[in-house]
Chain A
């Protein structure tokens, strides 16, 4: 069990550019989540996958944001035409989805700075 891993850990991009983050969940976890966190705040839910199906998207996830989990394993979160307000830490998490409180394990996060 290597934990949830995210890449890159830090990204600085110019406004208007596209960025993509990757998340590798804990193996055999069928649920995968994306959250966003800004300084001084708790995480905000963005979206959730059960295997390869994207089952829920927050209203925070504008049409510039797209998330995929094509084979039910790793996931990508792409932000198109980045804006300064997109600067935040993007957290990926995974869980088994059953039992043990559906315990959700987080990665170390990907910091995005839009300049």
Chain B
């Protein structure tokens, strides 16, 4: 199958770390992506990781990839109210098509 699965919701307190998880099925995917979508807006590319990497860090964002378990995670350090959005995980099916999860809605509690 071509499923990318994510939890639908994640609630964290402001200032804590958020960890959004994703599982995918296509072991041949070369790149995996995280996109952010705010209400009524398009998709903003946050980061991506090549399949031969285990980890990638970019400021407050850390991506971890466990290729054996086909598990991808996005950690957001020091979560702020501006981080409230839906976060999509996507895997590259080919050099032109992405397969997407349904998105995880990140809710920030004060």
Contacts and interface: CB of A to CB of B under 8 A. Distances in A.
Interface of A: 4, 6, 31, 33, 40-45, 48, 50, 55-56, 91, 93, 97, 101-109, 111
B48 A101 contact: yes
Which bucket holds chain B's interface residue count? 20 to 34
A92 B103 CA distance: 19
B43 interface: yes
B42 A48 contact: no
B103 to A, nearest CB: 6
A45 B99 CA distance: 8
Interface in B23-74: 30-31, 33, 35, 40-45, 48, 50
B2 to A, nearest CB: 11
A72 B40 CA distance: 28
Given A45-B97, A55-B96, A102-B31, A109 B103 contact: no
B108 interface: no
A93 B37 CA distance: 14
A45 B98 contact: yes
Given A42-B101, A45-B98, A101 B50 contact: yes
A41 B31 contact: no
A41 B102 contact: yes
B103 A103 contact: no
B97 A43 contact: no
Given A42-B88, A56-B97, A101-B31, A106 B43 contact: yes
B27 to A, nearest CB: 17
A91 B95 contact: no
5 contacts: A45-B98, A101-B30, A101-B33, A102-B95, A106-B45
A91 B42 CA distance: 7
